[in-house]
């Protein structure tokens, strides 16, 4: 068995390496990870496995919650929604509001991707309303039916300037060197297929001037309204509206990069923007998708957002993937590897079954920016022949491949543990559909700074592995489940935590019964149907009691004239809840003044967590 353990651990380490920039490597890694999980199961008969902490990542269905210590359930709390920004903000297409000013440096995968470093001085003019066959600056322009074909071959420094309107035409570009495509008042409708088809594998610098539109057709099979075989680098001060009636809006076989100043709108039947990677350094980007399983931005590798204002509305539902034999769901922004958000504004809303706001299969790093995320769809179920867009039945015995839950932010997959690190930003997440969690990491979750506020139908925030809070402010509400739920250990080292769970068996703060809570610096207010727990250690006193709080009220814990902690309640009133409070400076055996809004009482801290509340211990992270 030792050999099996060592092989499983080796495969696991291979799988989490960051050599995942190629899609084939990731698919292989996922297969290896599945084998690793199988080998770990083979060692389960041993009680001394040194790899228990790793297998926890692949055990997201483990029943969680603090152990009840055999206490008899004694009461339940109940929450009522009030009013506040967390419950009222909206997401809507906005083409006119100026993009935010960002101090985050632009990112370029290659230095030459910065259009300001390039010179394209050889202009070739193309009038879509009156196309003409010609040779200009070494570029051959030919006409074939309704198509204009431009080939610059090996000529350097070519800048195509395209203008004019056509109700039935297509622009086809090929060449063996980098080039610039300046859309200057171009309005291209193709009744058959792609409006602009760039077959050159070299870099295409797309510069927008004035107002431009592209509309594709539905007759011929094609990938998108705007297609490029090479990287697509979008800049300029103009606008581009893309109406993709057949498939994707923009599709690049390399990466797509958007610069500050661009005003881009995409309405697509399938994915809005598709590429190996997406880099948003700025711009006003609006995307609407309606297809089942469609993504607003969909990348095979990474997504990087440094600035701009990105708004995405996804209205499609989940669907059955006949190739992978599993459910797949829509998402506003999705990538198969790493998501990095440093600045800008993101507004995302998914209304269909299983819909997600942000989704990364491997890792996510959020260090800045403003985010407002909404999902309203329910749990999607399909076994390939029967489907349900708002499944409310018991999922305990269902194959994981048959369900897809809505999430505000999801990092990791059913087979790959994720890494989510939040070190800044202003984030709000609201989910209202059945089984919809606010934020989920399929592995570890760490927050060191920033402000995160969540109102979720299911768990507010959930991690399959360890969860660490060492800075920032985290306010999380699970209206039908736990406020915060960790299937690994929970480390509260700093910052402020306000967690509100549902009544009965649900808790404000919930930890896997085989794991522990470690408190060493966080200001904590938790309220829910119960408080009970396995405390690893604490450096500060803890108070548990039953009480009520009003929506948006202020809760304080004081020692004489010194306020040790002040908490601004989320927009929910809670009646007769089980409360846990702790703050740095509190000591066991010392009495403090607790103010729950207008109600004040004396409480005495201990260094333990007293079990109290109603129901049985709640569940851990979901497997979907």
- Quote the domain boundaries for residue 53: 2-58
What is the DSSP-derived secondary structure letter of residue 389? T
Q: Does 570 fall in a domain? A: no
Element (H, E) at 315: none
In a domain, 448, yes or no: no
408 CA to centre of own chain: 6
d(CA 42, CA 38): 7
* Residue in the block written with tokens 């995160």: 452
Q: Please report the pLDDT score of residue 201 as a whole number.
A: 97
520-566 pLDDT, tens per residue? 999 999 999 988 668 999 999 999 999 999 999 999 999 999 999 99
From 33-47, 426-440, 450-464, 468-482, the region with the lowest mean pLDDT: 33-47
Cα 384 versus chain centre, distance: 26
Within a domain: 575: no
Average pLDDT over residues 408-425: 94
CA-angle at 186, arms to 180 and 191, nearest 5°: 110
Q: Among 579, 568, 574, 583, which Cα is nearest to 601's?
A: 579
Nearest 10 degrees: Cα torsion 54, 59, 65, 69: -80
The position carrying tokens 């389960």 is: 44
Q: Which two tokens stand for residue 329?
A: 């769901």
The answer to whether residue 44 sits within a structural domain is yes
Query: Residue 326: which H helix or E strand, with range?
Result: strand 326-328
**Residues ≥6 apart with Cβ < 8 Å to 328:** 293, 318, 319, 320, 321, 404
Tokens of 91: 């997401």
Per-residue confidence (pLDDT) for residue 414, from 0 to 100? 82
Residue 50 has pLDDT above 70, yes or no: no
29 part of a folded domain: yes
- Residue 396 predicted with pLDDT over 90: no
- Contact predicate 256/248, CB 8 Å: no
- Residue 8, pLDDT above cutoff 70: no
| pLDDT for residue 611 | 60
Q: For tokens 């969860």, name the residue.
A: 467
Instruction: Report the range of poorest mean pLDDT among 41-55, 70-84, 452-466, 564-578.
Output: 41-55
CA distance 336 to 23: 8
Q: How confident is the model at residue 43 (pLDDT cuts 50, 70, 90)?
A: very low
- Per-residue confidence at 397, pLDDT binned at 50, 70, 90? confident
pLDDT in tens, 460-472: 999 999 999 999 9
pLDDT given for residue 75 in this prediction: 39
Q: Give the pLDDT mean for 166-184.
A: 98
For 119-157, the pLDDT digits (tens) are 999 999 999 999 999 999 999 999 999 999 999 999 999
Residue 398 lies in a domain: no
> Is 124 contained in some domain?
no
The reported pLDDT for the residue numbered 533 is: 67
Q: What's the mean per-residue pLDDT of the chain?
A: 87
Over residues 483-526, the pLDDT tens digits come to: 999 999 999 999 999 999 999 889 999 998 889 999 999 999 99
CB 250 within 8 A of CB 270: no
Report the candidate in 470, 587, 482, 590 with the shortest Cα–Cα distance to residue 518: 470
> What's the confidence (pLDDT) of residue 219?
86
Spatial separation of the C-alpha atoms in residues 471 and 468, rounded to whole Å: 9
- Longest Cα–Cα distance of the chain, Å, equals 90
Look at residue 416 in the predicted model and tell me its pLDDT: 84
- What total number of domains does the chain contain? 1
Q: DSSP assignment of 164-232, as one string?
A: EEESS-EEEEE-SS-EEEEEEEEEEE-SSS-SEEE---S-EEEEEESEEEEE--SSS--SEEEEESS-E
Q: Cβ of 145: how many Cβ atoms within 10 Å?
A: 9
Q: Is residue 514 within 8 Å of 486, Cβ to Cβ?
A: no
Asked if residue 28 belongs to a domain, the reply is yes
Residues whose CB is less than 8 angstroms from the CB of residue 555 and which lie 6 or more positions away in sequence, other chains included: 525, 549, 566, 567, 569, 581, 594, 595, 596, 597
Residue 73 has pLDDT above 60, yes or no: no
How is residue 568 written in tokens? 């601004």
| Packing angle, helices 23-42 and 2-15, rounded to 10 | 160
Task: Tell me the pLDDT band of 68, cut-offs 50, 70 and 90.
Answer: very low
Q: Say which range, 67-71, 125-129, 187-191, 557-561, has the weakest mean pLDDT.
A: 67-71
Identify the CA nearest to 434 among candidates 402, 460, 406, 408. 406
Of all residues in the chain, the percent with pLDDT exceeding 70 is 85
The sign of the dihedral angle between the CA atoms of 559, 560, 566, 572 is positive
The CA distance from 62 to 510, in Å, is 13
* pLDDT surpasses 50 at 90: yes
């Amino acid at each position: 068995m030792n050999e099996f353990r060592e092989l499983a651990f080796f495969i696991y380490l291979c799988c989490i390496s960051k050599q995942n920039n190629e899609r084939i490597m990731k698919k292989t890694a996922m297969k290896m990870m599945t084998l690793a999980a199988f080998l770990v199961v083979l060692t389960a008969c041993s009680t001394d496995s040194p790899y228990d902490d790793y297998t926890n990542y692949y055990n997201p269905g483990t029943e969680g919650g603090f152990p009840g210590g055999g206490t008899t359930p004694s009461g339940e709390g109940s929450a009522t929604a009030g009013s506040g920004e967390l419950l009222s903000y909206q997401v809507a297409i906005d083409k006119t509001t100026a993009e935010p000013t960002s101090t985050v440096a632009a990112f370029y995968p290659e230095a030459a991707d910065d259009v300001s470093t390039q010179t394209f001085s050889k202009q070739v003019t193309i009038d879509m309303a009156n196309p003409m066959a010609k040779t200009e600056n070494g570029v051959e322009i030919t006409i074939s039916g309704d198509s204009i074909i431009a080939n610059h071959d090996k000529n350097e420094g070519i800048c195509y300037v395209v203008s004019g309107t056509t109700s039935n035409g297509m622009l086809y570009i090929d060449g063996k060197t980098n080039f610039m495509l300046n859309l200057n008042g171009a309005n291209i409708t193709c009744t058959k297929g792609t409006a602009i088809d760039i077959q050159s594998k070299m870099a295409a610098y797309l510069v927008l001037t004035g107002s431009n539109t592209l509309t594709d057709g539905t007759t011929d099979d094609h990938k998108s309204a705007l297609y490029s075989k090479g990287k697509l680098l979008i800049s300029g001060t103009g606008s581009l509206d893309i109406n993709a009636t057949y498939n994707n809006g923009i599709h690049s076989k390399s990466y797509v990069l958007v610069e500050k100043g661009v005003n881009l709108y995409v309405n697509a039947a399938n994915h809005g923007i598709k590429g190996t990677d997406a880099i948003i350094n700025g711009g006003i980007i609006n995307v609407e998708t309606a297809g089942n399983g469609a993504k607003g931005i969909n990348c095979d590798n990474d997504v990087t957002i440094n600035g701009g204002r990105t708004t995405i509305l996804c209205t499609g539902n989940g669907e059955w993937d006949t190739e992978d034999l599993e459910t797949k769901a829509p998402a506003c922004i999705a990538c198969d590897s790493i998501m990095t958000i440093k600045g800008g504004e993101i507004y995302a809303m998914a209304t269909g079954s299983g819909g997600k706001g942000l989704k990364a299969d491997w890792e996510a790093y959020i260090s800045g920016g403003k985010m407002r995320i909404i999902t309203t769809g329910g749990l999607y179920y399909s076994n390939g022949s029967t489907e349900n867009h708002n499944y409310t039945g018991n999922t305990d015995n269902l194959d994981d491949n048959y369900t897809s839950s809505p999430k505000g932010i999801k990092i990791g997959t059913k087979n790959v543990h994720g890494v989510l690190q939040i070190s800044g930003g202003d984030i709000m997440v609201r989910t209202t559909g059945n089984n919809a969690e606010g934020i989920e990491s399929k592995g570890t979750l760490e927050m060191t700074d920033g402000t995160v506020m969540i109102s979720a139908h299911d768990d507010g925030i959930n991690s399959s592995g360890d969860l660490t809070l060492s800075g920032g402010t985290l306010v999380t509400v699970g209206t039908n489940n736990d406020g915060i739920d960790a299937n690994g250990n929970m480390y509260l080292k700093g910052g402020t935590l306000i967690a509100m769970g549902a009544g009965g068996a649900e808790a404000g703060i919930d930890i896997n019964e085989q794991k522990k809570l470690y408190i060493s610096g966080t200001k904590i207010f938790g309220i829910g149907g119960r408080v009970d727990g396995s405390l690893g250690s604490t450096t500060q006193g803890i108070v548990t009691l039953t009480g009520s709080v009003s929506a948006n009220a202020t809760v304080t814990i004081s020692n004489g004239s010194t306020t040790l902690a002040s908490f601004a309640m989320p927009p929910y009133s809670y009646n007769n809840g089980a409360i846990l409070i702790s703050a740095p400076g509190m000591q066991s055996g010392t009495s403090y003044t607790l103010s729950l809004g207008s109600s004040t009482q004396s409480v005495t801290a201990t260094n333990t967590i007293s079990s109290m509340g109603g129901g049985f211990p709640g569940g851990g992270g979901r497997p979907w």
